[in-house]
Structure 1
Amino acid sequence: MGGRRLPRRGRPRTPGAPVMSDAVYRDPTAPVDARVRDLLSRMTLREKVGQLNQRMYGWDAYRRTPDGGFELTEALRAETDRFEGLGALYGLQRADAWSGVDHGNGPGAEDGAALADLVQRHVVERSRLGIPTLFVEEVPHGLMALDGTVLPVNLAIGATWDPELYERAAAHAAAELRARGGHVALVSALDIARDPRWGRTEECFGEDPHLAGRLTQALVRGMQGACPDGLFAADKAPVVLKHFAGQGATVGGRNSAESELGWRELHEIHLPAARAGVRAGAAAVMAAYNEVDGMPCSGNRALLTGLLREEWGFDGLVMADGLAVDRLARITGDKVSAGALALDSGVDLSLWDEGFTHLQEAVERGLVSEGTLDAAVARVLRLKFRLGLFERQHPTASRPAGGAELSKEVARAAVTLLRNDGVLPVGADVSRIAVLGPQAATTAHQSGDYTAPQRPGTGSSVLDALRGLAPGLDIRHEPGCSLTGDDLSGIPAAIAQAAASDLAVLVLGGSSARTPGTEFDANGAALKAVSEMTCGEGVDLAGLRLGGAQYALLDAVVATGTPTAVVLVQGRPHLVPDTAPALLSAWYPGPWGGEAIAEVLLGLTEPAGRLPVSVPRSAAQLPVYYNHKDTEYGGYVDESAEPRYSFGHGLSYTSFAYGEPRLTGRTVEVDITNTGRRYGRSVVQVYLRRLITRTWPRTLELCAFEGVGLAPGERRTVTLPLEGVSGTVEIRVAASAREALTAKGHSLTAPDDTPL
């Protein structure tokens, strides 16, 4: 394809000793640390500063040529000339409404690697020492690129309660990233959903630190692999865990707002997932936007250096979030000192900000030491050597197959049955189904924020999947209303279809879809909701209600007397009254989620999901997370204080009986029996209740869980390790947090070897 290769340009004349072919850093057999030291000793201050800058938006680095190839832009040339190289480049493969990249102008699966190769060749040529760049990509729920496999969002991952399944999905995403020439994956994992009004709730694994920690470990294992000799395999990618720390605790559920976090709350709720990720070997973390005790995370030395590096022993990379370093100028007075503060606090790599471009001046003015700068540069270079970029600058991994089926498998595991009065699964007496609601016949709103444009025909809607899986049924459709607004004009037609059917399937929910008309902030967050947006970064809600017409549609369909099953496609728990006999949440299940939902409705697949967050009765109740402090938790005069559905809740099409738990040392055993007539999966959940503590305890804390699938009548003994349990506690085994409140407790006194 024309336009892919550029004429070679002469290397710039730069002060410094010439590079010898026998330089240690060029020797792939030399230890990584020795290569880093050798290369660092040859670099000028200007070159060092360049390695810490990630200034460009990747989509500004190239353009399509008339013959369908790519050419590099003057913006990229200017950026590489600025520091005689390029430390990292963000979003070369990114495609969405913010970047403006789509199938007409961006790289797809067939040419993404060629574009990465073209850019990398240019960067190496412009670097006096031949230092390659890091290609950093968003992988929030699959690779955010054209033709990348879209997975269900993190909240759906949390609903699976299945770390092994997620590990496989993460490995697939890493392989896709590397096959396209990308190197580093940015993945949300550390945010804990404490207020579902927050638009980024969809990016959280849930409200519980133990659940988030288990899934973060799975993420790191899946993406990074074993890393023999410290090196990444060609199909594995270092992961940047976002966001460190406490970003889910902002006041009022408002994005990037202030937080009111004490050090103990931070440690008990918001740090365990990060600790689990660090122990699993995560290559990097991203400093969050929020502040902790008045100091933004990107300038918080106590957090990034005192805790992360010195106490936890983390030796990986710390990246700032987009433009976060420049925000520190509100404290320091200017961007030069803001960059110095971030670097001295522990940030190694910037993201789009100006502050780090002035680090040479900051060093020369004595605002930060060159030794501190060298330590950060060494961490960047170490990651490049671990990736083998000095030897393998061109992509060598092949694109993995089976992405769509894997995405559908995760979506199946996430569908959560919240209520069922015998309506589901669809019975033999049902011959006509009315499939209604604004989410019924579209895939456009099945994926979350940070999703690339999909090719026409990708995925399946609930309507199409039902028709395909049950061709013998008479399936009628009317949308009834749209996701937002109060237009009721379509409801009469929906009522007519419901009244003439044996079953109504009402598919409601929200949307994180960004359209080309969306207004974006400088960091990619939505400035204001447009079209049907009700969730995602920058789209926070004061309440948790659906669009007004959706409630009118629900009331009208239920009033027909036709048995009704409501399916929620959503990125946060929305408020839905208990008026329909059956209620399922599919979260944002991805493009193929319609088929997963249809399989559960028809009984071809068992509902296996469990709630990763508590579902409130109203936003006025918040917070309703289960692991609150063990105080006299009274109700309201006008409302119950309890959630409508508790953390861990989820029904099956069969029933289970739990035996008496048995404690043996640091393990708990329980017998579980499938007492119904169908195969099913239950999630055995182990909670602890602290009896003697140094500070006021929480009511309950999840400390172990395991999913178990059983045939009808089958009984199995499940053994769960009680890792990290210390002090005098009660152990309770149950199927949800609400059931654990009344379950019989079993006392255990364990060595106090895990201080908080």
Structure 2
Amino acid sequence: MLELKVTDHLYRDPSAPVAERVRDLLARMTLTEKVGQVNQRMYGWDAYERTADGHRLTDAFRAEVATYDGMGALYGLQRADAWSGVGFADGITAADGARVADAVQRHVMENTRLGIPVLLVEEVPHGHQALDGTVLPVNLAVGATWDPELYEAASAAAGAELRARGGHVALVSALDLVRDPRWGRAEECFGEDPYLAARLTEALVRGMRTAGVAVVLKHFAGQGATIGGRNSAATELSARELHEIHLAAALAGVRAGAAGVMAAYNEFDGLPCVANRTLLTELLRDQWRFEGIVMADGCAVDRLVRLTGDPVSASALALNAGCDLSLWDACYPRLAEAVEQGLVAEQTLDTAVARVLALKFRLGLFDEPSSHAEAPGDQRSDPSELSERMARASITLLANDGGVLPIAPAPRRIAVLGPNADSIAQQIGDYTAPQRPGSHHVTVLDGIRSAAPPDTEVTYARGCELVGGDLSGVPEATAVAAAADIAVLVLGGSSARSGDTVFDSNGAAVVTSANPVDMTCGEGVDLADLRLPEGQLALMDAVAATGVPVVVVLVQGRPHAVPDLPGTAGAVLSAWYPGPWGGRAVADVLFGAAEPEGRLPVSVPRSAAQLPVFYNAKDHGYRGYVDQPATARYAFGHGLSYTTVGYAPPRLSRARVTPDDPALICRVSVRNTGERPVRETVQLYVRRLSGGASWPRIRELRGFARLELRPGEEADAVFEIDADTLGSVTRDLGLAVEPGELLVETGPSSDRTQGARLVIASSG
């Protein structure tokens, strides 16, 4: 435990209000110390080195602290991956995390004039990105669960791991939407829909806060709308599109208590988000009353030099816009010059510093300086068990036309084929730390071998590589399939980075035709063609030609444009990137030990040529292309089960409401008409038929509920409809219930709904 500096300063008094402590401390700070508090320029892995006796702090870290007589935040102290170059040979394991974090905090507090603690900021994309950190399924898989309660529990468990190792702030992708699945970062999104993303963002923030962790939500705002699915590219967002689609999750996260948001790389209305005062101050601060911090994305402030001409004025542009804390850039260290030159007022700097200090006070860092902390409440849930539960809940049955699933009766021989059948690296997604050798992880092949009946032989052949058109392994795989009773073909993509991966300055992978690697997804890995690679398609055709029943399992970080599969595959499962234990979850669904529960959080296109294909497009009555339909191959919300389910039309408690009194109840009767139990996700959509301030969308998700039904059982899903359900974006970009006529629709997916008319009459 660190010892506090004993003084009579008010900021040291734990009983004083946070605002008063901030005010007292700020008044004592020099300009240099203030600049230090808004800087986060050091990579955490450069702050220590491993020795025979453990870990020691580097001279570079000590010099960084001395430069500003303090440190605002230290990024990624425990990060491990191919970009940082940190692994088990030189990194910080779970056994060492709290000790090294304490050493960092001790040095900062004991060797600076005011003893201001440092924020330890860590990446938590889907679990703490550190050695021995539990890996969760990627966000797209989380979206497929449609289960905020489960995700809240998993987030709390991940937060507890982070806090126990000394971390304070979790950086988590939550705000981006998959509006173009060519974008390599699709796996970091909860899906294409703002309502679903908002509910999961709330769950994330609640879970992390339960564990005593501050959450910074990435990325604010509209990054998923980049043109052509190109990472960090321009957007052509209108203000209306931004408000209708891309801000809902951010607003939900702010209301749930997020500690911060990260300004995105993309521009809005001609200005990068990190320099956009309209977003960071007028919207976030003035309208939403957000009091947390705004953090820049990595090196984003440096990119502003192209606008301003020099680093000093670039730093002033970002600070004046409302960016409180930098990340890795060379501009914010020069903020003192910007103040001295009159480019930014010192009061503006004080405001940013005050927000950083307030977060440190709220986290208790001044009063409990030890970095290691027990999460408040009962946080003893097993993160690995929650990871596997999420994987199982995310698996989505897209097609079962041949009725080959669940696999029964027990076959004599199962052929497991494909490049993703036996690779942990290819089922855990981007931004993951190296996995400990010998860890008990489960590939799809492992899972099938364990779940198969004792008298069933499981054979395996890779068949083809992940990318490219090498067909040399296809004959062997075809022979293995021909000798089996059923073939499970595990295809898809990979975001696995390696030592051969080349990286950009911000850690994004650089994958080009001149620098090919076995990655088809992840940051920096955008695709123009969404089809599966040539070798995978050839393997699928060759195996199908044997006549053996085929099940395709897609392990992927984006919705690939799958071909029309009748006659090729009897069933198709999407497992997304299900995490280290995902192979067991896949096997449970294949053999019927678990029912498929996942529902698509994103539309699956027929081809990249038909994009965009998201379900909630503007309703202009477009008929489609001449050469192919404009509809998705599988619609948003789609997901089959091993039974049949019937829906009655929705019933409204009122057929007419007013903007001042919009409350009503919607009920829909759902019956399990099959022979197996089901956990059905009942979806509620709103479709505007007339009225409103702007042209309506085809339909918009506004609610969902789960029903667990035994065979033959019927129950009602009940939705409480209010102003939030019926509200829309007005001409002045506010939210209101507008007069007109709506359809309140319910169903199992966005393309299979039944509606009841609702009139919203003018209050006058």
TM-score, with length taken from structure 2:
0.93
Match of 1:168 among 153, 158, 162: 153
The residue identity in structure 2 corresponding to 1:466 is: I
The residue identity in structure 2 corresponding to 1:460 is: V
Q: Which residue does the alignment assign to 1:498? A: 481
CA contact (8 A) 2:429 2:577 kept: yes
- Check if 1:543 corresponds to 2:525: no
Deviates more, 1:529-538 or 1:543-552: 529-538
Q: CA–CA distance in 2 between the matches of 1:37 and 1:744?
A: 56
- CA shift digits 1:62-116 (9 cap, x unpaired): 000123x001111101110110010000000100000011111111111111110
- Check if 1:236 corresponds to 2:212: yes
- CA shift digits 1:520-565 (9 cap, x unpaired): 1111001225431110000000111222110000000011100000
- CA shift digits 1:430-456 (9 cap, x unpaired): 221101111112212001111000012
The residue identity in structure 2 corresponding to 1:654 is: T
The residue identity in structure 2 corresponding to 1:295 is: L
**Helix, strand or coil: the match of 2:122?**
strand
* Cα deviation, residue 659, structure 1: 2.1
Q: Which residue does the alignment assign to 2:323? A: 347
- Check if 1:315 corresponds to 2:291: yes
Q: CA–CA distance in 1 between the matches of 2:455 and 2:345?
A: 74
Q: Which residue does the alignment assign to 1:223? A: 208
CA contact (8 A) 2:410 2:456 kept: no
* Cα deviation, residue 641, structure 1: 0.8
* Cα deviation, residue 429, structure 1: 5.0
The residue identity in structure 1 corresponding to 2:373 is: T
Q: Which residue does the alignment assign to 2:129? A: 144
Q: CA–CA distance in 2 between the matches of 1:408 and 1:269?
A: 31
Match of 2:238 among 262, 266, 270: 262
Q: Which residue does the alignment assign to 1:627? A: 616
Q: Please list every run of at least 4 consecutive aligned residues from structure 1 whose deviation after the TM superposition is greater than 4 angstroms.
A: 398-401, 750-753
Q: CA–CA distance in 1 between the matches of 2:407 and 2:436?
A: 32
Q: CA–CA distance in 2 between the matches of 1:635 and 1:608?
A: 31
Deviates more, 1:650-659 or 1:615-624: 650-659
The residue identity in structure 1 corresponding to 2:31 is: L
Match of 2:502 among 519, 522, 526: 519
Q: CA–CA distance in 2 between the matches of 1:437 and 1:457?
A: 23
**Helix, strand or coil: the match of 1:735?**
strand
Q: Which residue does the alignment assign to 1:694? A: 693
Q: CA–CA distance in 2 between the matches of 1:677 and 1:546?
A: 35
CA contact (8 A) 1:483 1:546 kept: no
**Helix, strand or coil: the match of 2:685?**
strand
- CA shift digits 1:304-332 (9 cap, x unpaired): 00001001111111000000011111111
- Check if 1:445 corresponds to 2:434: no
Q: CA–CA distance in 2 between the matches of 1:676 and 1:594?
A: 27
* Cα deviation, residue 633, structure 1: 1.2
Q: CA–CA distance in 2 between the matches of 1:46 and 1:272?
A: 38
Match of 2:447 among 455, 462, 465: 465
Q: CA–CA distance in 2 between the matches of 1:327 and 1:563?
A: 54
Q: CA–CA distance in 2 between the matches of 1:635 and 1:290?
A: 30
Q: CA–CA distance in 1 between the matches of 2:720 and 2:546?
A: 51
* Cα deviation, residue 126, structure 1: 2.2
Q: Which residue does the alignment assign to 2:392? A: 412
Q: CA–CA distance in 2 between the matches of 1:348 and 1:114?
A: 29
Deviates more, 1:570-579 or 1:607-616: 570-579
Match of 1:361 among 311, 329, 337: 337
Correspondence list, 1:715-734, <5 A = 715-723=714-722, 724=724, 725=726, 726-727=737-738, 728=740, 729-734=742-747
Q: Which residue does the alignment assign to 1:98? A: 83
Q: Which residue does the alignment assign to 1:58? A: 44
**Helix, strand or coil: the match of 1:681?**
strand
* Cα deviation, residue 415, structure 1: 0.1
Match of 2:683 among 682, 685, 689: 685
Match of 1:580 among 569, 583, 605: 569
Correspondence list, 1:595-614, <5 A = 595-614=584-603
CA contact (8 A) 2:683 2:749 kept: yes
**Helix, strand or coil: the match of 2:752?**
helix
Q: Which residue does the alignment assign to 1:232? A: none
Structure-2 change in CA distance of 1:677 and 1:51 (3 Å):
same
Match of 2:751 among 713, 738, 750: 738
Q: CA–CA distance in 2 between the matches of 1:430 and 1:719?
A: 42
**Helix, strand or coil: the match of 2:426?**
coil
* RMSD (Å), alpha carbons: 1.7
Q: Which residue does the alignment assign to 1:182? A: 167
**Helix, strand or coil: the match of 1:539?**
coil
Match of 1:396 among 348, 369, 373: 373
The residue identity in structure 1 corresponding to 2:409 is: A
Q: Which residue does the alignment assign to 1:132? A: 117
- CA shift digits 1:224-274 (9 cap, x unpaired): 13xxxxxxxxx3201000000000000010000000000000000001111
**Helix, strand or coil: the match of 1:744?**
strand
Q: Which residue does the alignment assign to 2:26? A: 40
- Check if 1:749 corresponds to 2:749: no
The residue identity in structure 2 corresponding to 1:679 is: P
Structure-2 change in CA distance of 1:127 and 1:386 (3 Å):
same
CA contact (8 A) 2:169 2:216 kept: yes
Q: CA–CA distance in 2 between the matches of 1:338 and 1:752?
A: 50
Q: Calculate percent identity across the aligned residue pairs.
A: 63
* Cα deviation, residue 576, structure 1: 1.9
CA contact (8 A) 2:511 2:517 kept: no
- CA shift digits 1:324-349 (9 cap, x unpaired): 01111111111101110101100000
Q: Which residue does the alignment assign to 1:592? A: 581
**Helix, strand or coil: the match of 1:408?**
helix
Match of 1:455 among 409, 416, 436: 436
Q: Which residue does the alignment assign to 2:412? A: 431
TM-score, with length taken from structure 1:
0.94
CA contact (8 A) 1:161 1:707 kept: no
Structure-2 change in CA distance of 1:515 and 1:237 (3 Å):
same
Number of residues paired by the alignment?
Answer: 727
Q: CA–CA distance in 2 between the matches of 1:548 and 1:501?
A: 24
Structure-2 change in CA distance of 1:111 and 1:565 (3 Å):
same
The residue identity in structure 2 corresponding to 1:516 is: G
> Structure 2: where are the runs of 5+ without partners?
654-662, 727-736
Q: CA–CA distance in 1 between the matches of 2:596 and 2:443?
A: 18
* Cα deviation, residue 634, structure 1: 2.0
* Cα deviation, residue 575, structure 1: 2.0
Q: Which residue does the alignment assign to 2:463? A: 480
Match of 2:543 among 553, 557, 560: 557
Q: Which residue does the alignment assign to 2:733? A: none
* Cα deviation, residue 121, structure 1: 0.7
Q: CA–CA distance in 1 between the matches of 2:531 and 2:651?
A: 43
- Check if 1:667 corresponds to 2:665: yes
- CA shift digits 1:722-752 (9 cap, x unpaired): 3411333210101111113xx2332242789
**Helix, strand or coil: the match of 1:374?**
helix
Q: CA–CA distance in 2 between the matches of 1:401 and 1:686?
A: 32
Q: CA–CA distance in 1 between the matches of 2:381 and 2:201?
A: 24
Q: CA–CA distance in 2 between the matches of 1:260 and 1:334?
A: 27
CA contact (8 A) 1:656 1:675 kept: yes
The residue identity in structure 2 corresponding to 1:693 is: G
Q: Which residue does the alignment assign to 2:15? A: 29
- CA shift digits 1:599-643 (9 cap, x unpaired): 000000000000000000000000000100010212111111111
